[in-house]
Chain A
Amino acid sequence: MEKKGWDGFEIGAMLRSFDGATQDIATTLPENRPYSQSNSFTASVADWRIEKPLFNKEYCIDCQFCWIYCPDMSIISRDKKMVGIDFDHCKGCGICVQVCPTNPKSLLMFPEQKDEEAALAEWPKKEKKADAEVKED
């Protein structure tokens, strides 16, 4: 963002979300949007995290619970599939891990500095006790 002096302000105090022409935002996916510099999408809250969620594709059933309950739009879902996590905007709250219904969980919290490959290698195996009670709706 361009630095403004003490008396500088956007004209009309209007903060624009987008710079270019956008026809229909409701159907334009985030990666195709012409974000303006005043959209918070261009900022990051990654330094809020102490623990980060990591995603193991192997166990994921694409139920999308993590997508609907993520407060920070950080679960990336494309074509009804869970694709990954947006680590620029994830605050590390851990809701996605709590709502994950698979056994073992396909999302787990790890310390921020943890290497992803190492985490995937030590992923817990399926528990013997059948406790796979999938939550309704």
Chain B
Amino acid sequence: MSEMKKIKNLKEFSTSADRFEGANLLCPGCAHSIIVREVLNATNDDLILAASTGCLEVCTAVYPYTSWDASWIHIGFENGSSAVAGAEAMYKALKTKGRLKQPDRTPKFVAFGGDGATYDIGFQWISGCFERGHNMMYVCLDNEVYANTGGQRSSSTPIGASATTTPAGRVSYGEKRNKKDMMAIMAAHGAPYVAQVAPNKWKDMVAKIQKGFEAEGPVYINAMSACTTEWKFAPEDTIAISDLATDSLVFPLYEIIDGTKLNITYRPKNIIPVRDYLGAQGRFKHLFTKQNEYLIDEWQARIDKQWDYLQRREEASV
């Protein structure tokens, strides 16, 4: 069981028996469940899961139903990470004492949280888990907004996005601050593996999840989750929008090993302008007016700079 599941191609991957069930209450076209499926199907081992409050949690555990075919716990908004860390600490203790009933089974510990629970509310708890060095994985479902409570801005919301607490109008162009660089922060904890993934690049994602499971210590995964409701696009376009995000390098796919060595794992053949990504979403609609158009150029300049920085880091491997 402890051997890593071999996934060569999509046909082989499709023989996986899903451990996440339908009739959950996520919106049609929600990327959360695509990500969850790709994470859970990456292994055949037992899973011990936790979720912080957020869309994923409220939609998959509506009494009297559960959508999880694995051990799953929810406590609060902030402590999905510590819940799993506690379970992991107990598992380690029982193993040392030789009191595990099935010692040959090697469960994987995974916590899920939205960007609100990761970037803002649960930040201290995650930092604590990484500092203590639990052998767990934290997956942030980054949809750049508090989608569950009605679209308030979080510290993941990028400049210019219209959220309900930073609405765009005559006076304001929406969110004024840039997105927090969570990847760098988690890498700075000295975590053995930190990676950014997107559901549309499933192979890249599954490879990273498996690397994360293999790594000894806390692993942080930042998963882009296109939100049909708050990013304001049609539900069938989830994968198309995700493609735009990865190909315009707004969400570059890379990994940081041992806190220092950075690898870019996906280089788009044709880099598309950020304008196309912004134009496809309703939350950036107001940028395409005369007084706000300069923001699009700023966006492009920022993304170019970030890509340049990532490439240099990869080259220097520091």
Contacts and interface: CB of A to CB of B under 8 A. Distances in A.
Given A73-B37, A95-B238, A26 B14 contact: no
A8 B212 CA distance: 41
Interface stretch (A57-65, A114-122, A126-134): A57-65
B17 A28 contact: yes
B16 to A, nearest CB: 8
B11 A38 contact: no
Nearest to B65: A40
B289 interface: no
B147 to A, nearest CB: 14
B98 interface: no
B217 to A, nearest CB: 24
Interface string A7-45: 000100001111000001111111001000111111111
Secondary structure type dominating chain A contacts: loop
A15 B63 contact: yes
B29 A93 contact: yes
Contacts of A93: 28-29, 228, 235-236, 238
Interface string B33-57: 1100110000111100000000000
A71 B201 contact: no
Nearest to B68: A17
A56 interface: no
B29 A71 contact: yes
Contact count band on A: 35 or more
Given A26-B44, A93-B236, A65 B10 contact: yes
Nearest to A63: B10
Given A40-B23, A94-B236, A15 B18 contact: no
Contact of A72 (B12, B22, B201): B22
Interface residues of B, number: 55
A64 B22 contact: no
B248 to A, nearest CB: 17
B19 interface: yes
Contacts of B94: none
B313 interface: no
Contacts of B201: 137
Given A41-B23, A65-B10, A69-B34, A98 B17 contact: no
Contacts of A73: 18, 20-22, 33, 37
Interface in B230-270: 234-240
Given A27-B44, A64-B13, A1 B22 contact: no
Contact of B13 (A68, A94, A97): A68
Interface of A: 1, 10, 15-18, 24-30, 33, 37-45, 48, 62-65, 67-74, 77, 79-80, 86, 88-95, 97-99, 137
Given A69-B238, A73-B18, A89-B23, 19 more contacts: A15-B63, A15-B66, A16-B66, A25-B17, A39-B21, A39-B65, A63-B10, A64-B10, A65-B10, A70-B34, A71-B34, A72-B28, A73-B22, A77-B15, A86-B22, A89-B21, A93-B28, A98-B236, A98-B239
Complex A-B, nearest 5 residue pairs according to Cβ-Cβ distance, in ascending order: A89-B22, A94-B236, A93-B28, A93-B29, A91-B28
